[in-house]
């Protein structure tokens, strides 16, 4: 017996759109789905994007496929809600994105455009097109153009800091090299220490700490290291080592709450040494 033919991408998408429409149907739809709005769904979209990133880090293709599907469902959800209000639908989203990608890749879709000499040159050309689009949109809205427009506030703070400084750097507002960013970090540490030693209000300390974190994110950009990814890896490393400390304590019949800092610090060093081996 032959296996049934695999549906085409268009058929599969049509089925998914139908599932979403059924979930939002006033008569017989899902009560939870019917209550949702753009605002209530947004946090789930962010969560799904992180789950995609986690799946990619895990390297299991079946999990990646599932998580990417969950992220696609978020797009379908927005499309259905907008379709109900008459603002746009999935076709508008897909066509708009296709047109934007064609516009931003003139070396591929343009008749006479020259091919960039390198990936770096293509990135520069891409950003130039995006800058022009942002300026045009703000002009249409009657607003003065800013080179920082469009860096989403909802991004993780470290990621947004890297993007803001990268955007400014493209317009010559940048340190010449990483060494000078390190000097800036040391300056920010001194300023933070002054506030702490003076017993400053929490708001003042938070302000100086924010300046320090911004400078660290800027250093990551200068070193071509994604600060968000670096911190994520550091979080994983901390988790892994602390859990090893807990395991070593259990071998002694103890918990962290029953141990001294000196004892746990020694076990932490042991966990580090084990990893290096």
Task: With a cut of 70, say whether residue 259 has pLDDT above it.
Answer: yes
Whether 116 contacts 107, CB under 8 Å: yes
**Residue among 192, 194, 188 at smallest CA distance from 161:** 188
Q: What is the dihedral of CA 26, 28, 32, 37, to 10 degrees?
A: -20
148 pLDDT band (50/70/90 cuts)?
A: confident
| Residues shown for the chain | 277
Cα distance between residue 98 and residue 104, in whole Å: 10
Residue 21: count of CB within 10 angstroms of its CB = 15
For the chain, domains (ranges, CATH) are: 11-109 (1.10.287.1080), 126-225 (1.10.287.1080), 229-276 (no CATH)
Q: Quick check: 48 pLDDT over 90?
A: yes
Residue range 125-132: average pLDDT? 68
**Residue 249, CB half-sphere, CA atoms under 13 Å: how many?**
21
The pLDDT-based confidence of 119 (bands split at 50, 70, 90) is low
CA angle centred on 177, ends 174 and 182, rounded to 5°: 95
Has residue 75 got a pLDDT over 90? yes
User: In the predicted model, is pLDDT for residue 100 greater than 70?
Assistant: yes
* pLDDT for 193: 97
pLDDT band of residue 108 (cuts 50, 70, 90) is: confident
pTM over 0.75: no
Residue 255 has pLDDT above 60, yes or no: yes
Residue 136, pLDDT above cutoff 60: yes
């Amino acid at each position: 017996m032959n296996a049934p033919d695999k549906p085409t991408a268009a058929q599969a998408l049509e089925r998914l759109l139908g599932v979403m429409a059924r979930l939002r149907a006033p008569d017989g739809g899902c009560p939870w789905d019917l209550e949702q709005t753009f605002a209530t769904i947004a946090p789930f979209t962010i969560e799904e994007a992180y789950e995609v990133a986690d799946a990619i880090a895990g390297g299991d293709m079946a999990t990646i496929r599932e998580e990417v599907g969950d992220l696609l469902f978020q797009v379908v959800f927005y499309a259905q809600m907008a379709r109900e209000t008459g603002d746009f639908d999935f076709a508008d989203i897909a066509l708009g994105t296709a047109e934007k990608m064609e516009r931003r890749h003139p070396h591929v879709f343009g008749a006479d455009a020259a091919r960039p000499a390198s990936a770096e040159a293509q990135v520069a050309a891409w950003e130039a097109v995006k800058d022009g689009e942002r300026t045009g949109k703000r002009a249409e809205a009657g607003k003065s153009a800013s080179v920082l427009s469009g860096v989403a506030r909802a991004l993780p703070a470290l990621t947004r800091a890297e993007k803001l400084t990268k955007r400014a750097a493209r317009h010559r507002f940048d340190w010449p090299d990483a060494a000078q960013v390190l000097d800036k970090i040391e300056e920010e540490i001194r300023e933070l220490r002054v506030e702490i030693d003076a017993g400053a209000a929490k708001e003042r300390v938070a302000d100086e700490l924010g300046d320090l974190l911004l400078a660290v994110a800027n250093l990551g950009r200068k070193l071509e290291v994604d600060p968000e990814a670096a911190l994520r890896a550091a979080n994983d490393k901390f988790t892994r080592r602390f859990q090893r400390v807990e395991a070593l304590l259990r071998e002694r019949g103890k918990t962290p709450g029953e141990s001294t800092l000196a004892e746990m610090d020694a076990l932490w060093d042991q966990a580090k040494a084990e990893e290096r081996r």
